[in-house]
Amino acid sequence: MTTTKGRPGGYNSVVCIKQVPDTKKVTGQAMKADGTINRAALPAIFNPEDRNALEAALKVKEECGGTVTVVTMGLPKACDILRTALMCGADKAYLLTDRAAAGSDTLATSYILSQAVRSLKPDLVFCGRQAIDGDTAQVGPQIAEKLDFAAITYLEGIEMDGDYAIATRDIGTGVERDRVKLPALFTVTDRFGELRPMDVRRVMKYKRAKAPVENGGVAPEGDLAIGQLSCADVGCEPERCGFAGSPTNVNKIVSVVLAGGEFKEVAPTDEGVAGLVSELMADHTIG
Ligand SMILES: Cc1cc2nc3c(=O)[nH]c(=O)nc-3n(C[C@H](O)[C@H](O)[C@H](O)COP(=O)(O)OP(=O)(O)OC[C@H]3O[C@@H](n4cnc5c(N)ncnc54)[C@H](O)[C@@H]3O)c2cc1C
């Protein structure tokens, strides 16, 4: 990434980060009998593409100045990833935790997060492309829609130019470059680059940072404070949060196991390919 011209004061970025169960460590205990995820059986990690999103924000700050604020909506344990973000270079961290948010589907999640982001008045918002547990990739674009920000998905590079960002995005067959007026929201993929390592001095500084909920209800002082927000703090309408604000109905969850079957060798000739196409059309796989 090469950042061109910034602007005086730099850019204020908000990064939405989520703590997720490590789905690479799935074992026999990972699913409950009712088909839902047994979160207790899986280690909780920083959602991989949210690490890339944080790196994007830190690069903009490094090259143009400004601030980076991270926000997560989740249980108090999610403060682990907020501390990691502070140790890597974020300036401020917020935990949005509230019983009123329990049961939120992507619509309610993006509404609550959009209200938190709105209250922070950012120039740039970064999300991961997708969370590895819910896997919908809906939350980032839904936040943008609610804030009336442009949404740029699949970000793999960004340059700043005054009140505009020039985004390089993956379009599958190559890349596209978009010039977008700020404020704007970007969803970031692993092609952006790895999150930088934690800084040793920041590790020492933030290892005792806590949210009030982790500290007997008392907010630690100064740099050690992780901000804590409720749905009401960010002006949410109760009927748009949690179960009340979630129209999604999950009818059934099934565990799909793909097993290898028979295979057929096709000759690398025109006749071989024509035969394969006819077969696929005959059994309606294509056509
Ligand atoms: C009916 C229903 C009920 C549910 N109930 C619960 C529940 O009770 N408890 C629960 O934990 N989940 C619940 N979920 C799951 C929850 O809705 C999703 O985890 C959440 O909406 C995010 O969607 P996703 O994982 O697909 O994220 P994606 O859309 O794949 O995420 C994209 C990006 O958005 C950002 N993002 C997403 N979620 C968060 C977050 N929480 N904080 C910060 N940034 C975020 C990240 O940058 C992420 O990379 C429920 C889902 C449904 C459908």
**Over the Cα atoms of the chain, what is R_g?**
22
pTM, rounded to two decimals: 0.86
Q: How far is the CA of 163 from the centre of ligand 1 (A)?
A: 31
Higher pLDDT, 43 or 234: 234
Residue type, 86: L
* pLDDT reported for residue 31: 67
Residues of the chain above pLDDT 70, percent: 93
With 90 as the cut, is the pLDDT of residue 135 above it?
Answer: no
How far apart (Å, rounded) are the C-alpha atoms in residues 3 and 59?
9
CATH of domain 11-245: 3.40.50.620
Which residue lies with its CA nearest to atom 16 of ligand 1?
Answer: 105
Q: How far apart are CA 58 and CA 135, in angstroms?
A: 25
User: What pLDDT does 258 receive?
Assistant: 73
Model confidence at 6, in pLDDT bands (50, 70, 90)?
Answer: confident
Q: Which residues line ligand 1 (CB under 6 A)?
A: 16-18, 47, 49-50, 53, 72-74, 102-106, 109, 113, 127-128, 130-131, 133-140, 246, 248, 250
pLDDT averaged over every residue in the chain: 92
Q: 35-39, 192-196, 256-260: lowest mean pLDDT where?
A: 35-39
Which of 13, 18, 23 is the pocket-test mutation for ligand 1 (most atoms within 8 Å of CB)? 18
Read off the pLDDT band of 2 (50, 70, 90). Answer: very low
| Residue to mutate (ligand 1; options 72, 81, 104; most atoms within 8 A of CB) | 104
- Burial pattern 127-147, b for ≥16 Cβ within 10 A else e, equals bbbbbbbeeebbbbbbbbebb
Residues 116 and 136: their CA atoms lie apart, in Å, by: 21
> What's the pLDDT score for residue 247?
95
pLDDT on residue 36: 62
**Residue-level pLDDT at 129:** 97
Using CA atoms, how far residue 248 sits from 75, 82, 108, 272, in Å, is: 21, 29, 10, 46
**Per-residue pLDDT tens digits for 47-69:** 999 999 999 999 999 999 999 99
| Closest CA to ligand 1's atom 53 | 105
Question: Higher model confidence: residue 242 or residue 253?
Answer: 242
- Distance (angstroms) between ligand 1 centre and the Cα of 209 equals 25
113-125 residue pLDDT tens: 999 999 999 999 9
Comparing 102 with 264, the larger pLDDT belongs to 102
Query: Bigger pLDDT: 35 or 257?
Result: 257
Q: Kindly state the percentage of the chain with pLDDT values over 90.
A: 75
pLDDT at residue 172 above 80?
A: yes
- pLDDT of residue 250 exceeding 50, the answer is yes
What local confidence, expressed as pLDDT, does residue 33 receive? 67
Q: Where are the domains of the chain?
A: 11-245
Q: Mean pLDDT over residues 245-266, rounded?
A: 80
